[in-house]
Amino acid sequence: MAIRFVTAGESHGPGLTAILEGIPAGLELRREEIDRDLARRQLGHGRGGRMKIERDQVRVSAGLRHGRTLGSPLALHVDNLDYRNWEERMNPWPVETAVEEVHLPRPGHADLPGLLKYGHSDVRNVLERASARETAARVAVGAVCRALLRELGVEVRSHVVQIGSVRAAVPEELAVEDFEGVDESPVRCLDEEAGAAMVAEIDRARKANESLGGVFEVRAWGLVPGLGSHVSWDSRLDGRLAQAIMSIQAMKGVAIGDAFDVAGRVGSQAHDEIFWSQERGYWRATNRAGGLEGGMTNGEPLIVRGAMKPLPTLTRPLRSVDVVTKEPAQALRERTDSCTVPAAGVVGEAMVAVVLADAYLEKFGGDHLDDLRGALEAYKKRIGWRR
Ligand SMILES: Cc1cc2nc3c(=O)[nH]c(=O)nc-3n(C[C@H](O)[C@H](O)[C@H](O)COP(=O)(O)O)c2cc1C
Ligand SMILES: C=C(O[C@@H]1CC(C(=O)O)=C[C@@H](OP(=O)(O)O)[C@H]1O)C(=O)O
């Protein structure tokens, strides 16, 4: 891997940290751009009380000087403002007062398997790290990768295509410009009518003490053909994207292009025929493959979807067992979101940006941004790529 990152931090601990390694020197980063992505992740109808407490902003403590990357690891931090309400319960150091343990694992969370695996008696020792609060750190990392990709002519966007039973109409072709107002929609949906129905569905679910999942779609434009490779299982870009999307909390499925729909079609309706013209070079009339063939980009826009399960913490808790007494009990009742598909889409963008930035650096290398750009231009020239 050309890019590596690791995050650390608990949901109600002092904050989140990400170390990102592999970004070349000379890349300009703007704090407002990273913060904008962090703020976008906090939005969306269906969020709980926590988002009223947090104001996610990045702090950079390494790898950056006067707004340009040094080629050394970047250290990115996002504070948990809620920590001040949890200081006793989440202090990294021993505290005077006794802190009550949580013994009621929630179905659908990491609680029970994490407790067994790590030998804890307090479910909080698992749930704090399993929480998707961690995705704030990923979005900061993704914003850096997105800045790099922009220098290479690549743009990444997302939108919500389903919440609960409501599905949006999605045009076959979408351009970057079509996404301009997407963050103004309360559910980050491009189809206004479906968006309103999604809001109503979330309100209904919340009133009924229910939660909802759904599907988001990430698209990327400006990719050169040949990122990733067909030669080995772990170099295939489709697999790497699937892993990145699946690593987001509550994701249960990934679709590339027409994916599950294509499985039910005949071959002649499943692929993207190849054409060539003097002015465009190679082109396709359809993009059923979502921009990937043989584990490589083919030059068409990338289309990846993620399917999210309904959030597992419920305000009318599911049945569980007290891990100390082994008596039947109701699962822990924590403050919770009721639907976070819009936020998950922003995290999906970040993860796709990481995978694409990694694929560019793997293929074109370079310690300085100019080296990377130079290698990319040489490649485009060799393959006669005109876009
Ligand atoms: C942005 C985001 C916010 C989330 N918020 C909640 C939440 O408030 N309540 C909840 O039960 N699950 C929430 N989740 C999902 C859980 O973190 C996730 O289901 C859990 O960690 C178990 O992991 P798994 O679903 O991948 O198996 C959220 C997920 C994301 C991506
Ligand atoms: C904190 C975030 O999401 C959290 C993810 C989460 C979970 O179980 O995943 C549970 C909730 O935590 P809390 O109990 O503190 O409200 C969400 O708010 C965030 O997205 O920044």
pLDDT tens by residue, 191-249: 999 999 999 999 999 999 999 999 999 999 999 999 999 999 999 999 999 999 999 99
Whether 20 contacts 144, CB under 8 Å: yes
Tokens for 104?
């009621």
Sheet of 251-256: strand order equals 166-167, 155-163, 214-221, 302-308, 251-256
* Ligand 1 close to Cβ of residue 132 (< 6 A): yes
160: left (phi over 0), alpha (psi -120 to 50) or beta: beta
- Region 168-173 average pLDDT: 94
The pLDDT assigned to 69 comes to 98
User: How far is it, in rounded angstroms, from Cα 11 to Cα 129?
Assistant: 6
Q: Could you give the C-alpha distances from 43 to 56, 195, 205, 289, in angstroms and in order?
A: 11, 14, 18, 31
Task: Output Rg (C-alpha) for the chain, integer angstroms.
Answer: 22
| Per-residue confidence (pLDDT) for residue 96, from 0 to 100 | 94
Collapsing DSSP to helix, strand or coil, 338 comes out as: coil
- The complex scores an ipTM of 0.99
CATH number of 4-383: 3.60.150.10
Does the C-beta of 139 come closer than 6 Å to ligand 1?
Answer: no
d(CA 60, CA 87): 24
- Measure the CA–CA gap between 324 and 101, rounded to whole angstroms: 10
Separation of 195 CA from ligand 2 center, angstroms?
A: 23
Segment holding 207, helix H or strand E: helix 192-207
pTM here? 0.98
Q: Is 336 in the pocket of ligand 1 (CB under 6 A)?
A: yes
Cα–ligand 1 centroid distance for 249 (angstroms): 5
| Minimal-distance CA residue to ligand 2 atom 14 | 335
The larger pLDDT score, comparing residue 1 to residue 183, is at 183
Q: What is the pLDDT of residue 109?
A: 98
Angle at the Cα of 347 from the Cα atoms of 25 and 271, rounded to 5 degrees: 95
Query: Would you list the DSSP string of 44-78?
Result: STT--THHHH----EEEEESEETTEE-SSPEEEEE
What residue type is assigned to position 155 of the chain? E
* Beta-bridge mates of residue 167: 162
Q: What is the pLDDT of residues 27-43, one digit of tens each?
A: 999 999 999 999 999 99
* pLDDT tens digits, 145-155: 999 999 999 99
Confirm or reject: Cβ of 340 under 6 Å from ligand 2: no
Element (H, E) at 41: helix 31-42
pLDDT at residue number 334? 83
Q: Which atom of ligand 1 is nearest to the CA of 131?
A: 17
Residues 73-79: what's their mean pLDDT? 98
Pick from 16, 340, 341, 351 the residue to mutate for probing ligand 1's pocket: most ligand atoms within 8 Å of its CB: 340
Task: State the distance from the centre of ligand 2 to the C-alpha of 56, rounded, in angstroms.
Answer: 13
User: Which ligand has the minimum distance to the alpha carbon of residue 79?
Assistant: 2
Give the confidence band of 161 by pLDDT, cuts at 50, 70, 90.
Answer: very high
Nearest protein CA to atom 21 of ligand 2, as residue: 133
Ligand 2, pocket-test mutation among 337, 341, 346, most atoms within 8 A of CB: 337
Q: How confident is the model at residue 130 (pLDDT cuts 50, 70, 90)?
A: very high
Q: How many CB atoms lie within 10 A of CB 65?
A: 11
pLDDT tier for residue 144 given thresholds of 50, 70 and 90: very high
Q: Is 338 in the pocket of ligand 1 (CB under 6 A)?
A: no
pLDDT tens per residue, range 85-104: 999 999 999 999 999 999 99
Please enumerate in sequence order all residues whose Cβ is within 8 A of that of 322, keeping only pairs 6 or more positions apart, or say none.
103, 104, 328, 329
How far is residue 66's CA from residue 82's CA, in Å, rounded to a whole number? Answer: 30
Q: If you take atom 5 of ligand 2, which residue's CA is the nearest one?
A: 132
Which of 25-29, 265-269, 333-337 has the lowest average pLDDT? 333-337
If you search the block for the tokens 């990102």, which residue do you land on? 20
Known binding-site positions for FMN: 129-131, 249-250, 294, 309-313, 335
Q: For 292-322, what is each residue's pLDDT tens digit?
A: 999 999 999 999 999 999 999 999 999 999 9
User: What would the pLDDT profile of 274-288 be if each residue is shown by its tens digit?
Assistant: 999 999 999 999 999
Residue nearest to atom 6 of ligand 2 (CA): 131
For residue 387, is pLDDT > 90? no
Q: Which residue has the higher pLDDT, 335 or 90?
A: 90
Q: How many angstroms does the Cα of residue 133 sit away from the middle of ligand 2? A: 5
Enumerate the H helices of the chain as residue ranges: 31-42, 50-53, 83-90, 111-118, 124-130, 135-151, 192-207, 237-246, 259-262, 341-364, 369-383
Instruction: Report pLDDT digits (tens) over 352-380.
Output: 999 999 999 999 999 999 999 999 999 99
Q: Which of 10, 12, 41, 50 to mutate to test the pocket of ligand 2 (most atoms within 8 A of CB)?
A: 50
Question: Up-side HSE of residue 58: CA atoms within 13 Å toward CB?
Answer: 29
Question: Mean pLDDT across the chain, nearest whole number?
Answer: 97
**Of the candidates 138, 112, 107, 95, the residue with the CA atom closest to the CA atom of residue 9:** 138
Most ligand 1 atoms within 8 A of CB, residue of 133, 243, 249 to mutate: 249
Asked whether residue 55 carries a pLDDT value surpassing 90, the answer given is yes
- Give backbone dihedrals phi and psi of 16, rounded to 5 degrees, phi first: -115, 145
For CA atoms 262, 346, 82, 80, the dihedral sign is positive
- Cβ atoms < 10 Å from Cβ of 299: 20
- Cβ–ligand 1 distance for 339 under 6 Å, the answer no
At 1, is the pLDDT very low, low, confident or very high (cuts 50, 70, 90)?
confident
Angle at 247 between CA 7 and CA 242, to 5 degrees: 130
Burial of 17 (C-beta count, 10 Å sphere; 0-12/13-18/19+): middle
pLDDT at 172 over 90: no
Which residue type does 264 have?
Answer: G
